[in-house]
């Protein structure tokens, strides 16, 4: 399973240099306990943010949000194929590819950087980050001891497949890296025979049991996957925040020193950068910062509190050796005590079902199932990984939020009244001159060399007048076999049907009745790639495209067209002329129509727009379109495809954080388009799309129905791509859709919420005090913080007492302090952040002593 998992797993990188931005001044070394930077030991929290998966305008805020989340280090791959896409003599380091600018922003934030140089990166990135042209440099074999190819990542599981060449190659890679004398240590991840000159590291959902090969190396976790990537046609995987926190706490409990979230901000696979096949344009990854750049609450906040708790322990953890003791059959403590009297304890309950009361140093502690409590003084719990909204003794208050995608109709340019769509029809088959004619089939990737997704395979056949099906009005059946990835079949310019493989099985068969006429018939088959293979052994040899074409239902049975002459055309005319770019858009005659054609295949649409109102991040809603590519002002938004997953997949209503996580443990969205967001239909008259950020809480939104209108496939369009006016939106639709239904949506944090509870009813306090409990009833405050540049403008709900419900749907319980709203307003109104103490000065002293009292707040920022 482990092997399978890793081959599915995200980025497998084998190799990366720890290049701290303090490089110039810094001296980075290590010993068995930790990295040592300028003589100081550190426990490091690292966050993967890939520069080409967002835009420069987002970078400062992403990095700031990571820093606020308690992150010390930003980690990124270097993506070779965006820097040299077409040939070795061409370089691109501008816009999203400006690595130097990205690194400087990290430096300015006072953070460290881990650079994973690749060039092979996997990373769910097209062709694993290697430019496709390298495959066609004579004599190149990837991932082995080959003169043209000496770069690697996450190689351990594949090395054996390459025999002796693999072994030599791994040794060479380490030797090459170390000989660069960069002054910082080198790491190989998932490398089981790493030489002593480099540090081997762990990539997994859990790495607490990981041990480096050599005892002088620190324990480093290069990829902790806080969610998972998605493939078109699959349901949506979720990893609960409690389990992510559990894995991190366990890692530091067991002597870990550097932990990196892969991803902390996943972002977007813009254009055709998605790997595959079939990886979605969204690379959200359910990461602590969402695709649009907003903190994902409560995940981001829950991990921030965890990082704070770990930092409280850092000094003692780095200065002492742990002593482990059993607290029960599945409960254990690790205690770190230093010479100066400092003491840190981690109490873990690995039982995946039952909570447990444990006794530690004569005090009882309640440990929820599958959780770790952190005690920076060996007495008081400052954090428990399973307690999200509720507080432990000292209180962990994680703010939650409601994020809505507010629909915003496409706005025509100020001058004109109605939005005007113009269209350009792409021909089915060869446009202008054919590229070549060949008997039989060529490999798709060998032919396009990935300069485009599209390759036309065309031929013609003559149908005799005496064919029975002509008389009966019946239909012969077209049978196609393809290595992948997708296909639209046209006969005489009419779309007959489509087919595609899936993420686990790219090859597919097409079988569809077709309309043929007597005489000559033009057969035009549009073969498509949907992201090239990005990982595995010998992955560069995986092909795509047609292998067999037959038609059955003739008088003489089946005709095999496979050995016919086929005429080939690479790409689309609109692509070739660059009609999606401002400087190419006028190279064809666009037809202006009052009503654009709907459900018409092979159609280019364009419109000139004003940007959506406000300054929130923007999504493009493509629910009513079929499949294709979208651009704004020449920037590639990416592939869109509202492809649905099977209703027969195993989806869950509730996501149980307890127990070992696997990507298929907690699926939602069965039977819905993979790339989509949820709609909430209860609230106001004007239906708004609301998405609760943490899917774990979805169950609590009783009104959140997976109804048809909820399936809104949204594609991120960075704000910075918009001009104040005159924006060119271009869509290429392959199989047919309704462009009049395309809308933008603004991603808005509509409410922020917090809920905190006391640990036990007031009435129990005395009894507990008499029993000598050191647990004092919770006095942790409620903390609210508005998104950047906004202030708390209204308190929608506040109740001290026994409120029920969740963010967006709180209601007062039987016990309610009527002053709650005014207390919160007084503390918070017009502030960007505020704190409300749960003190008896603020709230009714004697209120419902027999209940565990809570304070719930929902507020609006603007």
Ligand X SMILES: *[C@@H]1O[C@H](CO)[C@@H](O)[C@H](O)[C@H]1NC(C)=O
Catalytic center residues: 154, 223
Cβ of residue 669: shortest distance to ligand X, in angstroms?
13
| Residues between 226 and 245 with contacts to ligand X, criterion CB under 6 A | 234
Contact 711, 685 (CB under 8 A): no
Which span sits near ligand X by CB under 6 A: 284-292, 309-317, 438-446, 593-601? 438-446
DSSP E strands in 329-417: the ranges are 331-337, 343-349, 356-360, 363-367, 371-375, 383-384, 400-409, 411-412
Contact 668, 676 (CB under 8 A): no
Candidates 652, 829, 847, 860; binder of ligand X (CB under 6 A) is 829
Among residues 47, 632, 122, which one has the least CA distance to residue 307? Answer: 47
Residue whose CB is less far from ligand X, 187 or 824: 824
Q: Is 340 in the site for ligand X (CB under 6 A)?
A: no
The CB-nearest residue to ligand X is 543
Cβ of residue 329: shortest distance to ligand X, in angstroms?
11
How many residues touch ligand X under the rule CB under 6 A: the total is 28
* Paired tokens of 852: 């565990």
3-state class (DSSP) for residue 435: coil
Q: Is 769 in the site for ligand X (CB under 6 A)?
A: no
Compute and round to an integer the Cα radius of gyration of the chain: 29
**HEC secondary structure over 511-570:** EEECCCCCEEEEEEEEEECCCCECCCCCHHHCCCCEEEEEEEEECCEEEECCCCEEEEEE
Q: Count Cβ atoms below 10 Å from residue 413 Cβ, excluding itself.
A: 14
Residue whose CB is less far from ligand X, 655 or 827: 827
Cβ of residue 518: shortest distance to ligand X, in angstroms?
12
Cβ of residue 270: shortest distance to ligand X, in angstroms?
25
Residue whose CB is less far from ligand X, 509 or 660: 509
Residue whose CB is less far from ligand X, 214 or 554: 554
Which span sits near ligand X by CB under 6 A: 319-327, 403-411, 572-580, 758-766? 319-327
Which span sits near ligand X by CB under 6 A: 198-206, 320-328, 425-433, 650-658? 320-328
| Residues between 705 and 734 with contacts to ligand X, criterion CB under 6 A | none
Name every residue whose Cβ is closer than 8 Å to that of residue 649 and which is 6 or more positions away in sequence.
234, 235, 667, 670, 671
**Which CA distances in Å does 199 have to 256, 288, 399, 784?**
14, 27, 38, 41
Cβ of residue 56: shortest distance to ligand X, in angstroms?
34
CA-CA-CA-CA dihedral for 267, 272, 276, 281, to nearest 10: 40
For residues 336 and 177, give the distance between their C-alpha atoms in angstroms, rounded to a whole number.
Answer: 36
Candidates 179, 830, 841, 846; binder of ligand X (CB under 6 A) is 830
For residues 430 and 428, give the distance between their C-alpha atoms in angstroms, rounded to a whole number.
Answer: 7
Residue found under tokens 């790493």: 194
For residues 45 and 427, give the distance between their C-alpha atoms in angstroms, rounded to a whole number.
Answer: 53
* Paired tokens of 321: 């050796």
Among residues 639, 788, 856, which one has the least CA distance to residue 289? Answer: 788
Question: Between 463 and 502, how does the x/- string for binding to ligand X read (CB under 6 A)?
Answer: -x-------------------------------------x
Residue whose CB is less far from ligand X, 208 or 291: 208
Q: Is 822 in the site for ligand X (CB under 6 A)?
A: no
Residue whose CB is less far from ligand X, 565 or 769: 565
Residue whose CB is less far from ligand X, 176 or 437: 437
Name every residue whose Cβ is closer than 8 Å to that of residue 404 and which is 6 or more positions away in sequence.
680, 688, 689, 690, 691, 747, 748, 750
Cβ of residue 7: shortest distance to ligand X, in angstroms?
16
Cβ of residue 732: shortest distance to ligand X, in angstroms?
26
Q: Is 324 in the site for ligand X (CB under 6 A)?
A: yes
Which span sits near ligand X by CB under 6 A: 18-26, 113-121, 324-332, 756-764? 324-332
* Paired tokens of 694: 């943490």
Q: Is 326 in the site for ligand X (CB under 6 A)?
A: yes
Residue whose CB is less far from ligand X, 108 or 563: 563
Q: How far is CA 51 from the centre of its chain?
A: 14
- Round to the nearest angstrom and report the end-to-end CA distance of the chain: 48
* Helix, strand and coil in the chain, % to nearest 5: 20, 35, 50
Sheet containing 454-463, strands listed edge to edge, beginning at the edge strand earlier in sequence = 436-439, 565-570, 454-463, 519-528, 486-491, 494-500
Cβ of residue 13: shortest distance to ligand X, in angstroms?
25
Candidates 32, 180, 446, 804; binder of ligand X (CB under 6 A) is 446
Candidates 32, 354, 565, 615; binder of ligand X (CB under 6 A) is 565
Question: Between 517 and 556, how does the x/- string for binding to ligand X read (CB under 6 A)?
Answer: --------------------------x-----------xx
Question: Between 14 and 33, how does the x/- string for binding to ligand X read (CB under 6 A)?
Answer: -------------x-x----
Question: Between 627 and 646, how does the x/- string for binding to ligand X read (CB under 6 A)?
Answer: -------------------x
Q: Is 181 in the site for ligand X (CB under 6 A)?
A: no
* Paired tokens of 173: 């890679």
Contact 674, 280 (CB under 8 A): yes
Candidates 145, 332, 404, 575; binder of ligand X (CB under 6 A) is 332
The DSSP string of 175-200 is HHHHTT--SS-EEEET-TT--TTSEE
For residues 32 and 314, give the distance between their C-alpha atoms in angstroms, rounded to a whole number.
Answer: 16
Q: Is 321 in the site for ligand X (CB under 6 A)?
A: no
Residue whose CB is less far from ligand X, 35 or 405: 35
Candidates 3, 92, 379, 505; binder of ligand X (CB under 6 A) is 505
Cβ of residue 437: shortest distance to ligand X, in angstroms?
5
Q: Is 329 in the site for ligand X (CB under 6 A)?
A: no
| Residues between 651 and 710 with contacts to ligand X, criterion CB under 6 A | none
Cβ of residue 646: shortest distance to ligand X, in angstroms?
6
Which span sits near ligand X by CB under 6 A: 277-285, 291-299, 415-423, 439-447? 439-447
Q: Is 362 in the site for ligand X (CB under 6 A)?
A: yes
Q: Is 139 in the site for ligand X (CB under 6 A)?
A: yes
Cβ of residue 383: shortest distance to ligand X, in angstroms?
22
Q: Is 437 in the site for ligand X (CB under 6 A)?
A: yes
In this structure, what are the phi and psi dihedrals at residue 317, rounded to the nearest 5 degrees? -60, -35
Cβ of residue 816: shortest distance to ligand X, in angstroms?
23
Q: Count Cβ atoms below 10 Å from residue 337 Cβ, excluding itself.
A: 17
Name every residue whose Cβ is closer than 8 Å to that of residue 395 and which is 6 or more positions away in sequence.
756, 778, 779, 780, 781
Candidates 39, 329, 341, 724; binder of ligand X (CB under 6 A) is 39
* Paired tokens of 505: 């099985």
Candidates 8, 23, 36, 479; binder of ligand X (CB under 6 A) is 36
Residue found under tokens 């873990």: 348
- Beta strands at 112-116 and 73-77: parallel, antiparallel or unpaired: parallel
In this structure, what are the phi and psi dihedrals at residue 401, rounded to the nearest 5 degrees? -155, 160
Candidates 148, 409, 504, 776; binder of ligand X (CB under 6 A) is 504
Residues that bind ligand X (CB under 6 A): 27, 29, 36, 39, 138-139, 234, 324-326, 332, 361-362, 437, 439, 443, 446, 464, 502, 504-505, 543, 555-556, 565, 646, 829-830
């Amino acid at each position: 399973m482990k092997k399978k998992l890793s081959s599915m797993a995200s980025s497998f990188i084998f190799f990366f240099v720890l290049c701290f931005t303090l490089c110039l001044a810094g001296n980075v070394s290590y010993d068995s306990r930790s990295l040592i930077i300028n003589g100081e030991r550190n426990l490091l929290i690292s966050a993967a943010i890939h520069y080409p998966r967002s835009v420069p305008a987002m970078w400062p805020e992403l990095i700031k949000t990571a820093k606020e989340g308690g992150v010390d280090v930003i980690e990124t791959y270097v993506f070779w194929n965006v820097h040299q896409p077409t040939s070795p003599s061409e370089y691109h380091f501008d816009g999203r590819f400006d690595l130097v600018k990205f690194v400087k922003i990290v430096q300015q934030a006072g953070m460290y950087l881990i650079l994973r140089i690749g060039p092979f990166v996997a990373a769910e990135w097209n062709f694993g980050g290697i430019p496709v042209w390298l495959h066609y440099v004579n004599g190149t074999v990837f991932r082995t001891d080959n003169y043209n190819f000496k770069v690697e990542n996450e190689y351990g599981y594949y090395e054996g497949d390459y025999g002796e060449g693999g072994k030599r190659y791994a040794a060479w890679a380490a030797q090459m890296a170390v000989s660069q004398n960069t002054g910082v240590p080198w790491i190989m991840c998932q490398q089981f025979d790493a030489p002593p000159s480099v540090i081997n590291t762990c990539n997994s959902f859990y790495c607490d049991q990981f041990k480096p090969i050599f005892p002088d190396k620190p324990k480093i976790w290069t990829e902790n996957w806080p969610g998972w990537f998605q493939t078109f046609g699959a349901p949506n995987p979720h990893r609960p925040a409690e389990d992510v926190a559990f894995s991190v706490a366990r890692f530091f409990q067991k002597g870990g020193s550097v932990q990196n979230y892969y991803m902390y901000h996943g972002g977007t696979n813009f254009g055709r950068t998605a790997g595959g096949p079939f990886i979605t344009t969204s690379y959200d990854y359910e990461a602590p910062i969402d695709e649009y750049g907003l903190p994902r609450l409560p995940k981001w906040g829950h991990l921030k509190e965890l990082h704070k708790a770990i930092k409280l322990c850092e000094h003692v953890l780095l200065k002492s050796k742990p002593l482990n003791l059993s607290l029960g059959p599945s409960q254990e403590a690790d205690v770190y005590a230093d010479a100066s009297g400092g003491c840190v304890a981690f109490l873990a309950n690995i039982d995946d079902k039952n909570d447990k009361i444990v006794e530690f140093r004569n005090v009882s502690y309640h440990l929820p199932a599958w959780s770790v409590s952190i005690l920076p003084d060996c007495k008081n719990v400052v954090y428990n990984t399973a307690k999200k909204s509720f507080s432990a003794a000292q209180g962990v208050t994680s703010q939650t939020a409601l994020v809505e995608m507010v629909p915003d109709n496409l706005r025509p340019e100020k001058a004109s009244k109605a939005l005007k769509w113009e269209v350009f029809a792409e021909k089915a088959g060869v446009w202008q001159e054919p590229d070549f004619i060949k008997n039989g089939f060529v490999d798709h990737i060998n032919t396009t060399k990935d300069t485009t997704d599209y390759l036309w395979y065309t031929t013609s056949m003559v149908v005799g007048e005496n064919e029975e099906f002509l008389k009966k009005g019946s239909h012969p059946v077209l049978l196609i076999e393809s290595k992948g990835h997708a296909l639209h079949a046209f006969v005489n310019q009419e779309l007959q049907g489509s087919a595609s493989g899936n993420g686990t099985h790219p090859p597919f068969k097409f079988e569809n009745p077709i309309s043929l006429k007597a005489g000559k018939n033009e057969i035009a088959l549009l073969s498509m790639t949907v992201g090239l293979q990005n990982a595995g052994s010998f992955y560069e040899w995986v092909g795509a495209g047609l292998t067999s074409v037959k038609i059955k239902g003739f008088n003489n049975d089946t005709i095999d067209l496979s050995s016919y002459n086929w005429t080939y055309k690479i790409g689309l005319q609109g692509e070739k002329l660059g009609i999606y770019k401002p400087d190419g858009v006028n190279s064809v005659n666009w037809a202006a129509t009052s009503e654009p054609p709907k459900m018409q295949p092979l159609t280019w649409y364009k419109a000139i727009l004003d940007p959506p109102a406000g300054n929130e991040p923007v999504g493009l809603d493509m629910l009513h379109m079929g499949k294709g590519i979208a651009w704004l002002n020449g920037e590639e938004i990416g592939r869109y495809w509202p492809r649905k997953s099977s209703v027969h997949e195993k989806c869950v209503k509730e996501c149980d954080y307890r127990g070992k996580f696997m990507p298929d443990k907690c699926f939602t969205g069965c039977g819905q388009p993979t790339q989509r967001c949820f709609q909430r239909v209860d609230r106001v008259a004007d239906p708004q799309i609301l998405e609760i950020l943490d899917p774990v809480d979805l169950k609590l939104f009783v009104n959140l129905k997976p109804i048809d209108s909820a399936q809104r496939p949204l594609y991120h369009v960075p704000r910075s791509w918009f001009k104040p006016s005159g924006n060119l939106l271009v869509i290429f639709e392959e199989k047919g859709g309704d462009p009049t239904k395309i809308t933008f949506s603004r991603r808005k944090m509509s409410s922020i919420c917090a809920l905190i509870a006391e640990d036990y009813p007031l009435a129990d306090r005395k009894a507990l005090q008499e029993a000598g409990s050191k647990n004092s009833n919770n006095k942790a405050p409620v903390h609210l913080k508005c998104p950047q540049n906004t202030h708390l403008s209204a308190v929608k709900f506040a109740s001290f007492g026994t409120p029920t419900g969740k963010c967006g749907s709180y209601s007062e319980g039987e016990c309610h302090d009527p002053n709650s709203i005014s207390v919160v307003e007084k503390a918070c109104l017009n502030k960007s952040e505020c704190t409300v103490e749960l003190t008896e000065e603020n709230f009714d002293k004697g209120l419902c002593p027999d209940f565990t009292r809570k304070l719930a707040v929902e507020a609006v920022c603007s």
